[in-house]
Amino acid sequence: MSQVENYIVNGTTLDNDKYSLMTVTKNHGNLKGTNVIPAFDHGTKWRRKYMGEYVEGWVVYVYNNLTTTGLPPDTAEKQRAALNANFEEVMTILQTNHAASGYDAPLQVVRKMKSNSSSPSDIYRVNYGEMVGPVPIIREEGSDCYIFEANIAYFDPRWYESNSSGVKTASTLTASGNPGGTALMTRMTITLTDDETSNPFIQNTTTGSKITWSGGNPSGNIVIDTYNYTATIGGTSVVGNIDRTGSTTTSWFELQPGVTNTLTSNVPFSISYTKAFL
């Protein structure tokens, strides 16, 4: 059926006897951010850009096959009924407008891909989005299928390493190293695990990111969530003591993919994240 690699939306595969995803058009959109024009210098100064919203265009075919047999019913009337039921089923999935627990948007999209050309195996990556814009639908005279186009917008343009059900795969750095992936990582949990060192900090000299606790000796482990912009000790918010002086980035912390990131700190630390891909 499907001519593209398998997509699973909210737990339902879009490659079955009732409907299938035939083509996918990818569009990464515009980069966010602009260069700076200094008042007393020639030209402009370059500033890092961030990926904007990522949109895919899907062409979906809906058939008149039954779930039980994978074949059309035995009469034209039943075939029309099966086609309409299958169309309503897939549209109900794609028009979901309520984000389930753990989702970043209404649609959880898991992409099943092949990896390792010498010994191919399945890998999975997850993203979250919603269907946007009009949905043109084609039903040709005498045809046994519907054809429609749907645009799926992903607000975070990065795809994340996951298992087959879309649960993100946890990765950890406790020393300098390559974080993996292909996209800049800005979502992570950083734990500084010493309560005796004054003003503990962590710095990534590869990206220029630096976070310092400016409250003297902390009374326990400092847990910093760079996605939700929080910092806690024992569950109590201490974000007012987080100092990013010296950081060259607009994000709280960054991990650069594909290279060794040089991490320095005056206390033991752990960075928990999920590998991100373009």
Question: Which DSSP category does 11 fall into?
Answer: T
Cα separation, 131 vs 98, whole angstroms: 12
- The answer on pLDDT for 253 being more than 90 is yes
Percent of the chain with pLDDT over 70: 95
213 has which bridge partners?
242
Percent of the chain with pLDDT over 90: 64
**How many CA atoms lie within 13 Å of 237's alpha carbon, on the beta-carbon side?**
5
Which one of 3.10.20.30, 3.40.50.10860, 3.90.550.10, 2.60.120.860 gives the CATH number of domain 171-277?
2.60.120.860
Question: Each residue of 76-135: pLDDT tens digit?
Answer: 889 889 999 999 999 999 999 999 988 999 999 999 988 888 888 899 999 999 999 899
Cα separation, 72 vs 80, whole angstroms: 9
Residue ranges covered by each domain of the chain: 7-162, 171-277
Cα separation, 256 vs 119, whole angstroms: 28
Name the fold adopted by 7-162: Elongation Factor Tu (Ef-tu); domain 3 (2.40.30)
Element (H, E) at 150: strand 145-154
Question: Each residue of 27-59: pLDDT tens digit?
Answer: 877 888 889 998 988 999 998 888 888 899 999
- Nearest residue to 92 via CA among 131, 143, 125: 131
Position 152, amino acid:
I
**How many CA atoms lie within 13 Å of 81's alpha carbon, on the beta-carbon side?**
8
Q: What is the DSSP string of 98-139?
A: SPPTT-SSSEEEEEEEEE-TTS-EEEEEEEEEEEES---EE-
Map residue 142 onto helix, strand or coil: coil
- Nearest residue to 183 via CA among 47, 16, 79, 31: 31
Q: What is the DSSP string of 33-97?
A: ---B--TTSSS-B----EE--EEEEEEEEEE---TTTSS--SSHHHHHHHHHHHHHHHHHHHT--
Question: Each residue of 185-242: pLDDT tens digit?
Answer: 999 999 999 878 899 999 999 998 999 998 888 889 999 999 999 999 999 999 999 9
CA 37 to chain centroid: 33
Question: Each residue of 57-84: pLDDT tens digit?
Answer: 999 999 999 888 888 888 988 988 999 9
Cα separation, 135 vs 130, whole angstroms: 13
Map residue 240 onto helix, strand or coil: helix
pTM as predicted: 0.87
Per CATH, 7-162 and 171-277 having the same topology is answered no
